[in-house]
């Protein structure tokens, strides 16, 4: 049996120039949303609903036809794209720019927090495409800095998120001001009733391109869950990180104070973590995101709002430290990993009473999450030893330790080499290598409230394995950033702090 030949970008009707830039960008085949949307947008004249989440290639699905169809010789704004967050707006503008060929339509981006003067100057040049957040876009329209009379395409990107963030009024006001003949392209991971009212009130005859639920929950993402008591979550997180060679993740929490608390605890273990939430001002937020994108920090502890639009294709983990309120948010969260063809793992922590809700998510998303198994303390210690040996080899081979040699000689006069190294290890790693310092993490078997979502109880219980089961360190030593979980994501190494 042979596979059916895969659709190519050329099959979709794109021009040779654009095909060349797609090739240069490294895209081999169109994603399902691209294969569905691009031909409709290039040839038809109906409005389009694209039901797809971030990470499915939806930006290129609308960007490529816009680049083909807009008139670059006409100095008017012909397309506007609304996005829920600054980061997404910037990312969309960048993605569009990245396909640009000679004489392509120009694109500019507007968003809250960006210097107003700079945006006004850019808008004065009448870019053919303007991407922005609804509030700032509305501001420029009201102040007549952005004219809508020549708009031919109106794109709502992550429409469900924009409505979640309370942008309905802005969206409706802008929509009402666009010419009646413009085509509306609405992209949304989910189609709740609130979206349908936009569709019914502002969209005409439309095509629906839906990425099937199975594909929507990206198959590159392994979904797991751990059922633990709230008090054991942090140690469970540490255990998962300690088991990984590279850990580059967003840890989602429900509240601002949770994010700060978790990030502080991680930092106390010398893990390179930072918190990001609504109270972090724009300037600081950009700095935090830049450090994260550059891999200088490898754990971002975030609230849902703060994490929107973050596109880091190398993220290999998403941790739901707290269970999201609904499965739409769950879908958005886990879509931060497994991007651009990479593999990712989404891990959700639930306590006993939340298992029912998790089952409800599974049912609606048509996925089955694997029950995670924590490594035993002996396994963790073995890995830590291996990582330590690797790091020592790396330092001996690559780093300048000349200045410390005389100190090493002096230390060796204090005892045998074995005693000195053991003492240094004790000092640097506290009790990280001592098996008795790991406590048992039990599965949370309480099921109060679980029935509300008609959940099936598939939990088997970790406690039954054995008493040496899943232990975590008492008190927690300083192992943190000096282990695999603390490594930079792309093969770089973290310099040990103390050894």
Binding interface with ligand AMP (CB under 6 A): 27, 30-31, 34, 54-60, 95, 311, 313, 339-341
Closest contact distance (angstroms) between CB of 58 and ligand AMP is: 5
User: What is the distance between the alpha carbons of residues 248 and 487, in angstroms, rounded to a whole number?
Assistant: 9
Which is nearer to ligand AMP, 67 or 241 (by Cβ)? 67
Which is nearer to ligand AMP, 13 or 461 (by Cβ)? 13
**Residue 183 phi, psi dihedral angles, 5° rounding:** -90, 135
Cβ pair 86, 113 in contact under 8 A: yes
Closest contact distance (angstroms) between CB of 272 and ligand AMP is: 24
Closest contact distance (angstroms) between CB of 22 and ligand AMP is: 8
Which is nearer to ligand AMP, 152 or 336 (by Cβ)? 336
Residue with tokens 């947008």: 41
Which is nearer to ligand AMP, 30 or 377 (by Cβ)? 30
Nearest partner of 113 among 282, 305, 290, 287, judged by Cα: 282
Residue 446 has a CB neighbour count (10 Å cut-off) of: 12
Q: What's the residue count for the chain?
A: 499
Closest contact distance (angstroms) between CB of 55 and ligand AMP is: 5
Contacts of 280 (CB under 8 A, 6+ apart): 288, 306
- E-strand ranges in 355-470 read 370-371, 438-440
Closest contact distance (angstroms) between CB of 214 and ligand AMP is: 17
Closest contact distance (angstroms) between CB of 364 and ligand AMP is: 21
Q: Which two tokens stand for residue 26?
A: 């490294």
The two counts, helices (H) then strands (E), for the chain are 19, 16
Which is nearer to ligand AMP, 30 or 496 (by Cβ)? 30
Which is nearer to ligand AMP, 97 or 375 (by Cβ)? 97
Which is nearer to ligand AMP, 59 or 259 (by Cβ)? 59
Closest contact distance (angstroms) between CB of 146 and ligand AMP is: 24
Closest contact distance (angstroms) between CB of 339 and ligand AMP is: 5
Which is nearer to ligand AMP, 32 or 485 (by Cβ)? 32
Q: Which two tokens stand for residue 67?
A: 């680049």
Which is nearer to ligand AMP, 26 or 491 (by Cβ)? 26
Closest contact distance (angstroms) between CB of 404 and ligand AMP is: 43
Measuring CA to CA, how many Å separate 96 from each of 165, 230, 314? 24, 43, 21
Nearest partner of 430 among 483, 376, 468, 386, judged by Cα: 483
Q: To 5 degrees, how large is the angle CA 50–CA 52–CA 57?
A: 95
Which is nearer to ligand AMP, 113 or 341 (by Cβ)? 341
Cβ pair 348, 282 in contact under 8 A: no
Closest contact distance (angstroms) between CB of 178 and ligand AMP is: 23
User: What is the distance between the alpha carbons of residues 482 and 385, in angstroms, rounded to a whole number?
Assistant: 11
Q: Where are the alpha helices (H) located in 27-85, listed in sequence order? A: 32-43, 58-69
User: What is the distance between the alpha carbons of residues 198 and 478, in angstroms, rounded to a whole number?
Assistant: 53
Residue with tokens 């053991």: 422
Please give the radius of gyration of the chain, using alpha carbons only, rounded to the nearest integer. Answer: 26
Closest contact distance (angstroms) between CB of 285 and ligand AMP is: 20
Q: Which two tokens stand for residue 231?
A: 């008090």
Which is nearer to ligand AMP, 35 or 323 (by Cβ)? 35
User: What is the distance between the alpha carbons of residues 99 and 70, in angstroms, rounded to a whole number?
Assistant: 14
Element (H, E) at 129: strand 129-132
């Amino acid at each position: 049996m042979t596979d059916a030949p895969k659709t190519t970008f050329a099959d979709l009707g794109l021009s040779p120039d654009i095909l060349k830039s797609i090739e240069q960008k490294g895209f081999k085949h169109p994603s399902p949303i691209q294969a569905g949307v691009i031909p409709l947008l290039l040839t038809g004249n109906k409005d389009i609903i694209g039901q797809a989440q971030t990470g499915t290639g939806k930006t290129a699905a609308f960007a490529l036809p816009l680049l083909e169809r807009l008139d670059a010789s006409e100095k008017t704004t012909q397309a506007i794209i609304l996005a829920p967050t600054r980061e997404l707006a910037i990312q969309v503008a960048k993605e569009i720019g990245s396909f640009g060929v000679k004489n392509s339509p120009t694109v500019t981006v507007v968003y809250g927090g960006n210097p107003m003067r700079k945006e006004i100057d850019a808008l004065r040049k009448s870019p053919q495409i303007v991407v922005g957040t609804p509030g700032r876009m509305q501001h420029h329209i009201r102040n007549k800095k952005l004219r809508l009379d020549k708009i031919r395409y109106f794109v709502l990107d992550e429409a469900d998120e924009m409505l979640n963030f309370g942008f309905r009024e802005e969206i409706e006001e802008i929509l009402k001001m666009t010419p009646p003949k413009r085509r509306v392209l609405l992209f949304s991971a989910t189609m709740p009733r609130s979206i349908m009212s936009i569709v019914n009130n502002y969209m005409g005859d439309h095509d629906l391109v839906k990425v099937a639920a199975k594909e929507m929950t990206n198959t590159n993402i392994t979904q797991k869950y751990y059922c633990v008591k709230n008090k054991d979550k942090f140690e469970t997180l540490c255990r998962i990180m300690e088991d990984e060679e590279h850990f580059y993740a967003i840890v989602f929490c429900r509240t601002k104070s949770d994010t700060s608390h978790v990030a502080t605890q991680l930092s106390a273990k010398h893990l390179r973590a930072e918190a990001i939430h609504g109270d972090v001002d724009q300037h600081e937020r950009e700095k935090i995101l830049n450090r994260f994108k550059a891999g200088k920090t490898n754990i971002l502890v975030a609230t849902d709002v703060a994490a929107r639009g973050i596109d880091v294709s190398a993220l290999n983990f998403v941790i739901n430290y707290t269970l999201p309120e609904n499965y739409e948010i769950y879908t958005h969260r886990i879509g931060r990993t497994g991007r651009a063809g990479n593999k990712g793992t989404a891990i959700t922590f639930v306590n006993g009473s939340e298992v029912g809700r998790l089952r409800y998510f599974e049912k609606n998303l048509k996925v089955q999450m694997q029950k995670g198994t924590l490594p035993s303390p002996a396994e963790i210690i073995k890995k830590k030893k291996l990582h330590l040996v690797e790091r020592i080899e790396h330092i001996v081979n690559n780093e300048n330790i000349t200045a410390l040699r005389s100190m090493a000689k002096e230390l060796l006069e204090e005892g045998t080499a074995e005693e000195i190294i053991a003492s240094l290890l004790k000092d640097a790693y506290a009790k990280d290598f001592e098996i008795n310092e790991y406590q048992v993490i039990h599965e949370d078997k309480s099921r109060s409230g679980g029935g509300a979502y008609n959940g099936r109880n598939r939990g088997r219980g970790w406690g039954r394995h054995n008493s040496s089961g899943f232990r975590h360190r008492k008190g927690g030593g300083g192992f943190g950033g000096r282990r695999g979980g603390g490594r930079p994501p792309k093969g770089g190494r973290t310099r040990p702090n103390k050894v």
